[in-house]
Amino acid sequence: MLFFFNFLFAPHANSKDIPASIYDFKVAGLDGSTIDFSKYKGKKIFIVNTASKCGYTPQYAALEKLYEKYKDKMVIIGFPANNFLFQEPGSNEQIATFCQKNYGVTFPMAAKISVKGRNMAPLYQWLTIKKYNNFQESSVKWNFQKYLINEKGQLVAVFPPATTPDDAEVIKAIEQQ
């Protein structure tokens, strides 16, 4: 039974599909562009899975403030996902409109992806599997889980969904050299 569960819900990307470095990822943007992680070398990267109909959705406002404050040395990239109680049902266009209208989001937003299960995006496999990220195993617990990558492209922190972007622990990790 466990094998069947793992087969159905475990990610199925071949390890050769997972880049060794965060800087080798290129993902579709919410607006149809390409987000090329190589252009963020030398900056911190803060990755957050997002949803428009979640109790944590107001974190968009704090994420935008964080981005405005640190955008010279850090980029935030939002990844809309519909993995938790169908809290991101919209299309990429609907999500973009929602984010702009309600929160004035200016940080890069990726196209909607899956952050867990059988269809987990390769980037999230890199973030959650230690053999790829060389930091720790993790699983995405809910919307607005946060991953911090340092200026050298190393995963250095994982923050649970309830930890707000302006939490002292998050700010300390961002400001560390």
> Could you write out the three-class secondary structure of the chain?
CHHHHHHHHCCCCCHHHCCCCHHHCEEEECCCCEEEHHHHCCCEEEEEEECCCCCCCCHHHHHHHHHHHHCCCEEEEEEEECCCCCCCCCCHHHHHHHHHHHHCCCCCEECCECCCCCCCCHHHHHHHCHHHHCCCCCCCCCCCCEEEECCCCCEEEEECCCCCCCCHHHHHHHHCC
Distance CA 151, CA 41 (A): 6
Active-site annotation holds for 99: no
Please tell me which residue in 54, 61, 171, 173 is annotated as part of the active site: 54
Assigned token pair, 17: 């599909």
- Which amino acids are annotated catalytic? 54
